Each structure stands twice: as structure tokens, then as C-alpha cells.
Structure 1
Amino acid sequence: MDTCSFDYPSGKFLEITGTQVFCTNCHLEGEGDAFTFSLLMIGVNGGTLVLKGGKFMMNSATPNYPSLADVQASSGNTKGGGLLIEGMFL
């Protein structure tokens, strides 16, 4: 995805399972006090999320979420997985 926008979701921003997602120059914004779970979830063998450029903004002085991302992607010899954030304003 290029130059996309995810604004004020009611659930997780992204939940990636067993696939690869690449976001370039995207804008993610939400209420930080509205979440009690991690905002991004990456799981299963090969689950990969790459965020390059753009902004990730949580508008709250008292956030409730435990972490930005919950990464449970397996890394094996055949497929790796995980989260890469590069040049993104947090």
C-alpha cells in the first residue's frame, strides 16, 4: 500500500497472519486511550509488516494500550516474520 490512511479504527489497526504487508508513506491515527490491546498484531509463520515513512499517531495523554505491536510471527528456515518500522514518525 502506498500513501494510505487508517484513521480511528474500532479494533486493531492491522492484524497480519501468515502473509506480508508493505505500507509506504501511510498515515495511521487513533485515540490512544480507546485501546486496551496492542495496536498491531503480526502472527503465524511468515507474518510480516513493513512500515516505511509516514506517521503513526495516537492522540492521548494517557494511553491504555500495552504496546505498539504484538509480534508472534515464527521465524523458520523457510519463512521469516516480524515487524520493520523505518523512517516513520511515531
Structure 2
Amino acid sequence: MLKKGYLLPVLLLFISCKNEKAAPVLNTSNYFEVLNEEFTGELAYETTSFVEKYWRVVGNTGFNKSVYKIAEELEKLGFVKEDSATSNDVLTYSESS
């Protein structure tokens, strides 16, 4: 009798399961090409060009301007400052050293 009691919930579980389509398999052979088109290094050159103008010691004007410039670029890309981030924000950054 006890075995029959387990059979009903198991049957209901199988009946209620959806038959979902499998996720499509991604073609990984061209990842390098796709990434190579996206990441040109231009932002790295621009950032380096900006920060090399300043003598940077933690807390001085050049350091602060450099940090704010990088934070501004991160925000353009969708990053959120960690202090303001919610649990839904995946991309975060922190200005702490």
C-alpha cells in the first residue's frame, strides 16, 4: 500500500513536466573572429593617452581624473558603481583601492 502512495505523486510529476526544445548548440569555431571585431584596443589607447598626461599618486588631481575617466567609460558600457548597484546589476565596479 505504501508503494502505491508514492506512485501517484511520481506520475503527476511526469505528467506535469513540459517537453521543451533543447537550446541550440552554438558554433564556437568563430568566437575569436567575433571577439576580434569587438575588441579593437581603441579604448585602451584612448585611456592610456588620457592618463599619461598626469602624474598619478593616490589622491592627487591626476589620479582622481584618471579614475573618474575610467569610471565614466565603464558606465557607458553598462557597469554600475558597486555602491549604487542592485541585486539585478551584473556588471559592477568599485572605486576603492
Scaled by the length of structure 1, the TM-score of the pair is 0.27
Alignment TM-score, normalising by the size of structure 2: 0.26
The higher relative CO (CA closer than 8 Å, separation ≥ 6) is in 1
